[in-house]
Structure 1
Amino acid sequence: MALRPAETTAWADTLNRARTAAPEAFDTAGDLVTLRNLVQGQWRSGGTPGAVRTPVDQSLLVHLPRLDADAAGQAVAHAAAAHREWAATPLAERKARVTAALDELTAHRDLLALLLVWEIGKPWRLACADVDRALDGVRWYVAEIDRMLADGREPLPGPVSNIASWNYPMSVLVHAELVQLLAGNAVIAKTPSQGGAVCLTVAHAVMHRAGLPATLLSGSGEELSEVLVRAPEIGAVAFVGGRSNGGKVAAALLDSDKRHFIEQEGLNAWGIWNFSQWDTLAAHLKKGFEYGKQRCTAYPRFVVQRDLVDEFLDMYLPVVRSVRFGHPLAVDEDWRPGDPLPELDFGPLISAAKADELRRKVDEAVRGGAVPLYRGKLDGAPFLDGQNTSAYVAPSVLLAPPGHSRLMHAEPFGPVDTIVVVDTTEELLAAMNASNGALVASLACDDTEQAEKLAVDLQAFKVGINKPRSRGDRDEPFGGRGASWKGAFVGGDLLVQAVTTGGDGRLYGNFPDYSSYPAT
């Protein structure tokens, strides 16, 4: 049956809704739509425009104007002045303005979610979850912030600079900004280069109207890093991304005492040892394919006891074959407005370049000796006739990736899993710790006492016993061990402590001279 785009979800209609919601944030010349930057307290045109395309089908979305370092420096200076005024604003007023922003963001919830479908390729259900987690999470902080600041905590001396990846624009970036604002800090956010620009533009227009001192600017990381990281006016740097760019940020902060929280990638692993609860594990692993494993808490590595390999594969390979992916808005001829949108596990990767890079990594590992247990095909997936599918990658599973391959020690950030077979618990731990630190890890083991003993030696911030771990929400802390994290931990009270000073003076984090906050 031929598929067609779902009515009411076309990009032209979605963009018009965004422009209606935030007309002040867009420039239009004929059919050319260009975003503005929110700098120096207003939406401004300027910068060098670059085309932004959707990974869904590679069509043009908008143009994003990238600022240079001088323009970014002026934006930071203005944000620092706004910070001083905001820090002196009574908490009750800060709560009222953040709540007003939350109310309007809630009114635009479906628009924000549909923008994420187009901009970063999230299926509808997952895009809605990203928006809902942001709004629900911040409302929890609004209810808790009086308690969190009751011990005399004060805002930082300057605004918080946020440099985040493209995969969770709302539930990571906007969520963090609103909590930082609630705690009394002005905020600066760099628009991710690869996706989410329109969603973030609409969200920041709402925040700006509510009287919140927020800056949103775009530009290359290389051009703006010196300003957004090292500028003396910056009170803290929050970074979410890979180890390469995270390492550059950390290096830029070496000679300063600037507050920072740098979340970096890690190869999160499931260890399978003396285990038999296969049906339960299958449900966890199916959910793990959501958004094509393009998230920092995905599990792309399975370390399996040799005696259990046959049972593990009997459970696991049907799970992989059942994963649903394709165009997130393609429906059949019977679909009508108001009907549910496609229920997929994932759509495209963030870009055709990323998809090509991942395919090359798989081919490299196979040439080096990895055994391809499963290599999915795009054939049969729900796509439109003639659609550009260059950003889509079907699931792959490789057994025994060679030690020199990139898939052995680094996360693929896509739907590619690797399996390592071990004979001893010592080998199990070594294989699970292959990336020198991770954000999460899990052990599947019938003997929970044995699992808890093994967990002590895992270099992951959170370890699940017979369940996965995630970033968490509300009062749950989050961080990393080893090279997966640098600086203060976040989440719950720790997020507010990371962007305030005073109280008892403690700051939990992954610091060179401080043992990490206990994993929970």
Structure 2
Amino acid sequence: MAIAVTNPATGEVVETFDPHDEVEVERRIAAAQSAFVALRNTTFAQRAAWMRRAAELLEADAEELARTITVEMGRPLAQSRAEVLKCARGCRFYADNAEDFLASETLADPSSVKASAAGTRYAPLGVVLAVMPWNYPLWQVMRFASPALMAGNTGLLKHASNVPRSALYLDTLFERAGFPVGAFHSLLIPASGVERVMRDPRVVAATLTGSEPAGRSLASIAGSEVKHVVLELGGSDPFLVMPTADLDAAASVAVTARNQNNGQSCIAAKRFIVHTDVYDEFVSRFVEKTAALRVGDPLDEGTDVGPVATESGRDELAELVDDAIERGAEVLTGGSVPDRAGWFYPPTILACITRDMRLFQEEAFGPVATVYRVESREEAAEIANATTFGLSSSLWSTDDDEIDWFIDRLDAGAVFVNGMTVSHPELPFGGIKNSGVGRELAAAGIREFMNLKTVWRA
């Protein structure tokens, strides 16, 4: 893919960028290594001051950055603005908490290990490569960069090729905030250039958010080099509605949970599994509210849903829907590519989904929802878990025993009860099965790229 900004609302190329050549890539890796030597010897207080300055810069640049995001990947402007402000919040969270998360611990009774003192201490690993997607072009990066830099690591970013403006903003943000030169840099390289960077001995670990094939490829390289990786590879999250649910609240949240970010979110609810006792009422409300969404220019403040970010993504989404329709799915709203410029796809709801349809297993990365009628909580859990993914889930019920039952049985990295899945700096984020390995955010996220040293003294 060319390194270019192509406006998905029009299909027009706005700007192109020359990729970094081998000399520039080498210079940036060397700069990251030099910066690590300097950064690891700074104090948490110093890093926190720089990180808070990065938050201030993000807030000052919020309007310009929001427009950059919207033009690059098509998200409605208000949602892009919220992403920028969330990044600033993440910076402050780690500025405030990194030192506590990485505090040394001592063994209460060192005599049990025949020592006068014993415990653990965290030390940063070094240069970490981040391979990141376009769907949240700032937040996906910042939820790695903020904890990594606060821990004393340095970062190299290989961003998605359709969001180079976002990549170049991040390329200078931390240096502007005061971090050592080279502490965080972007690499404008194609996907084919990732292996060379990953195999460089100065790069000690990697994190990737993206497709399952991309994750498998990076993990394979990392395995051959014996380097640590964190992978977040998407999901097909269930949204379960049980008889005691507040149906109006559930239906309203369902619309947002499916269509936020034009439906292009790994943690978006995608499969709506509804108990037969409330199925007709919930689906009626869900369809009515979905059909009322305004699709249009994402720079228009009144737009609810913009275009899919890439033409290939829109075409793949349409193929999934067409396959389901050909195999008997019922279209409740949407379901066809509109005749207009840009890569738009209407908010769509499909019913009568069967296991032979691609949509039953594959992730629909766009505003397409599937609904399932179930007779019991056992059937609901079985369908929820009948996927290779296991990122998050949303459960709607007011029965405490039922809630506990589902929390224990849903195969997912998170269960949100009576609310939609949202990533918070304060909570660990990640999945199981083919949704990935490792965790981001909270204390777990900052500890992923640390050497946990055992310290024993006679």
Selected match of 2:169 from 195, 202, 205? 202
Selected match of 2:35 from 82, 100, 103? 82
User: How many residue pairs get matched?
Assistant: 436
Asked whether the equivalents of residues 355 and 393 of structure 1 are also in contact (C-alpha less than 8 Å), the reply is: yes
Selected match of 1:162 from 106, 119, 130? 130
Say which SS state the counterpart of residue 253 (structure 1) adopts.
helix
1:495 aligns with 2:448: no
Q: Determine the structure 2 residue equivalent to 1:364.
A: 323
Q: Determine the structure 2 residue equivalent to 1:243.
A: 212
Selected match of 1:481 from 428, 432, 436? 432
Larger relative CO (CA 8 A, sep 6+): 1 or 2? 2
Say which SS state the counterpart of residue 65 (structure 1) adopts.
coil
Selected match of 2:260 from 273, 276, 290? 290
Letter in 1 for 2:242: W
Q: Determine the structure 1 residue equivalent to 2:372.
A: 420
Letter in 1 for 2:133: S
The runs of 5 or more residues in structure 1 that have no matched partner are 1-47, 331-341, 380-386, 506-520
Say which SS state the counterpart of residue 359 (structure 2) adopts.
helix
Q: Determine the structure 2 residue equivalent to 1:471.
A: 423
Letter in 1 for 2:394: S
Structure 1 pair 400–229 and aligned structure 2 pair: CA distance change class (3 A): farther
1:348 aligns with 2:299: no
CA distance in 2, matches of 1:77, 1:227: 14
Q: Determine the structure 1 residue equivalent to 2:294.
A: 324
Say which SS state the counterpart of residue 362 (structure 1) adopts.
helix
Selected match of 1:171 from 139, 164, 172? 139
Residue range with higher mean Cα deviation, 185-194 or 496-505 = 496-505
Say which SS state the counterpart of residue 255 (structure 1) adopts.
helix
Q: Determine the structure 2 residue equivalent to 1:14.
A: none
Asked whether the equivalents of residues 153 and 500 of structure 1 are also in contact (C-alpha less than 8 Å), the reply is: no
Q: CA deviation at 1:323?
A: 1.6
CA distance in 2, matches of 1:350, 1:428: 32
Q: Determine the structure 2 residue equivalent to 1:440.
A: 392
CA distance in 1, matches of 2:132, 2:3: 19
Q: Could you report, residue by residue, the CA deviation over 1:124-165 in whole angstroms, capped at 9, with x for unpaired residues?
A: 110111000001111121122222232174443321111111
CA distance in 1, matches of 2:386, 2:285: 25
Percent of matched pairs sharing the same residue: 25
Structure 1 pair 437–356 and aligned structure 2 pair: CA distance change class (3 A): closer
1:188 aligns with 2:156: yes
Say which SS state the counterpart of residue 462 (structure 1) adopts.
coil
1:266 aligns with 2:217: no
Structure 1 pair 282–504 and aligned structure 2 pair: CA distance change class (3 A): farther
Q: CA deviation at 1:446?
A: 3.7
Q: Determine the structure 2 residue equivalent to 1:391.
A: 343
CA distance in 2, matches of 1:314, 1:364: 24
Asked whether the equivalents of residues 113 and 128 of structure 1 are also in contact (C-alpha less than 8 Å), the reply is: yes
Residue range with higher mean Cα deviation, 156-165 or 82-91 = 82-91
Structure 1 pair 347–504 and aligned structure 2 pair: CA distance change class (3 A): farther
CA distance in 1, matches of 2:3, 2:446: 36
Say which SS state the counterpart of residue 300 (structure 1) adopts.
strand
Taking structure 1 as the reference length, what is the TM-score of the superposition? 0.78
Say which SS state the counterpart of residue 199 (structure 1) adopts.
helix
Residue range with higher mean Cα deviation, 409-418 or 167-176 = 167-176
1:214 aligns with 2:184: yes
Q: Determine the structure 2 residue equivalent to 1:38.
A: none
Letter in 1 for 2:291: R
Selected match of 1:403 from 355, 378, 382? 355
Selected match of 1:308 from 278, 286, 291? 278
Q: Determine the structure 1 residue equivalent to 2:107.
A: none
CA distance in 1, matches of 2:307, 2:404: 37
Structure with the higher helix share, 1 or 2:
2
Selected match of 2:410 from 449, 453, 458? 458
Q: CA deviation at 1:50?
A: 4.4
Taking structure 2 as the reference length, what is the TM-score of the superposition? 0.88
Q: CA deviation at 1:217?
A: 0.9
Letter in 2 for 1:209: R
Structure 1 pair 398–459 and aligned structure 2 pair: CA distance change class (3 A): same
CA distance in 2, matches of 1:467, 1:403: 27
The runs of 5 or more residues in structure 2 that have no matched partner are 105-119
CA distance in 2, matches of 1:447, 1:91: 45
